[in-house]
Chains A and B, each alone.
Chain A
Amino acid sequence: MSMITATAIDKEIDARGSFCPGPLLELIRGVKSVAVGGVVAVLSSDAGSNKDIPLWIEKARHEFLGAFPEAGYTRFMVRKTH
């Protein structure tokens, strides 16, 4: 948790149990809605997110701040860079 608490989150989306549209689309929606430099966190319980989310962040050239496991879900964090 230490790194998460050290980083201010501008928008956090609870996408646990989201199958349609799903955590990745919720994350993209979040990234679109914050200003450049903003940090978005998305909570996902979908195992596919471990692959999907970092892939999209790389493709879209934003900064992946990490995946932080919690009880039964993972918090993914990204900084909008452009």
Chain B
Amino acid sequence: MAVSEIVILGGGVGGTLVANLLARKLNRRQARITLIDRTGRHVYQPGWLYIPFGGVPPEQLERAERSLLNRQVKLVVGDVHQIDRVERRVVMVDGVSFPYDFLVVATGARLAPEAVPGYAEGAQHFYTAEAALRLHAALRDFQGGRIVVGVADIPYKCPPAPLEFTFLLDDELRRRGLRERTEIVYLSPINRVFTIESVSQFVTPLLEERGVRYELFFNTESIDPQARRITSLEGTTLGYDLLVLVPPHRGAQIVIDAGLGDEQGWIATDRETLQSKTDPTIYVIGDASDLPVSKSGSAAHFEAKVVARRIVGAVLGRPDDARYDGAVMCFLETGRGQASQLVFDYRHPPQPPQPNQLYHYEKMLFNTAYWYLVPRGVV
């Protein structure tokens, strides 16, 4: 039996986990596993939420990708130039190419501030460590006024994050004695404060109790950085002193160039088999897909297990029809040392418990335990 060439693009949660699961099930005579990553650094992105409040030093959120990978996995650090679907190979910018029998695209989402006029000059965010540090500095200098929190575009990673940020912001401003001098406005793109109705029902009174004003049906259209105003496509305009807006997200350019993505670069993906709808020989994991599930490490985690099983089955000639059931699990910080938890899949809506301290501690614990549990496939 020839050695199967398996190439994985992206060293985030999905790419790393699928590589390690494959290495555990397939030996070197069965498969050569190559993971290609742009930076060689693995980042625990959920930790960025805490940086603006000085809660986590950014260096704690990053490790060398090599240190997380099974030794059998070859790590290539560099930029991909092209996915050549005809020749079935991945061509790097430096001209080196990697042929594949199986390709897993786990290229994630990139931030595209240019997609919303005025965003780059007018808004702050916490969706990179650097931006979160800038926001930390802006909050440190903040002495009162109106802070507007929302999202610039849809889709974006981790749907609850702006809501969590709002609760933590309220805590922080109270701690510093600035809350009386600050109006917080939370923007929601839909007709309630959170997309899941049951979550919305317990979160709305929490926002009201903390004096957070919310604007519903607010989908950002543009920002005027000089006038410090943000306008929605529904026609509402709001002034701000500090604007914290999740930036627009797009898929990877190489995905668009390869004819796999839609105009925003999201890959049309079978919601159960996780194969590209354009090219079923390619698997898609995590944020890179167009699946109607949260763009989150949690979804990528569950998807990686499905893709690993399917590829192992194909390599060994024992087809495995593993399917993704839409599973996602995440925590939702509600401030004051409390959190809730969302667990759901395509068939079961989330039934979030009332926020309590236990879930907050679990989230804190997971933020640390992640490095031992997730990339290696312990959970």
Contacts and interface: CB of A to CB of B under 8 A. Distances in A.
Interface of A: 13-26, 28-29, 32-33, 48, 52, 55-56, 59-61
Nearest to A28: B154
Interface of B: 153-155, 159-160, 189-191, 195-197, 217, 219, 233-235, 262-264, 271, 292-294, 326, 328, 342, 344-347, 349-350
A13 B219 contact: no
Contact of B217 (A14, A33, A60): A60
Contact of A33 (B196, B197, B264, B328): B264
A24 B346 contact: no
A65 B317 CA distance: 48
Contact of B197 (A13, A32, A48): A48
B292 A14 contact: yes
Contacts of B160: 20
A74 to B, nearest CB: 15
Contacts of A19: 195-196, 344, 349-350
A56 B345 contact: no
Given A21-B154, A21-B155, A60 B190 contact: no
B247 to A, nearest CB: 15
B154 A25 contact: yes
Contact of A17 (B196, B233, B342, B345): B345
Contacts of A61: 234-235
Contacts of B347: 17
A33 B268 CA distance: 14
Given A20-B159, A59-B217, A25 B196 contact: no
B217 A56 contact: yes
Nearest to A11: B262
Contacts of A52: 190-191
Contacts of B235: 61
Given A19-B350, A20-B293, A28-B189, A14 B271 contact: yes
Contacts of A48: 197
Contacts of A13: 292
Nearest to A20: B294
B292 A26 contact: yes
A15 B190 contact: no
B217 A24 contact: no
Contact of A20 (B191, B195, B263): B195
A81 to B, nearest CB: 12
B191 A56 contact: yes
B346 A16 contact: yes
A17 to B, nearest CB: 3
26 contacts: A16-B292, A17-B326, A17-B347, A18-B293, A19-B196, A19-B344, A19-B349, A19-B350, A20-B195, A20-B328, A21-B159, A22-B195, A24-B190, A24-B191, A24-B195, A25-B155, A26-B292, A28-B189, A29-B155, A32-B154, A33-B262, A33-B264, A52-B191, A59-B217, A60-B219, A61-B234
Contacts of A59: 191, 217, 234
Nearest to B154: A29
Contacts of B219: 28, 32, 60
A26 B159 CA distance: 12
Nearest to B158: A20
A32 B153 contact: yes
Contacts of A33: 262-264
Contacts of B217: 56, 59-60
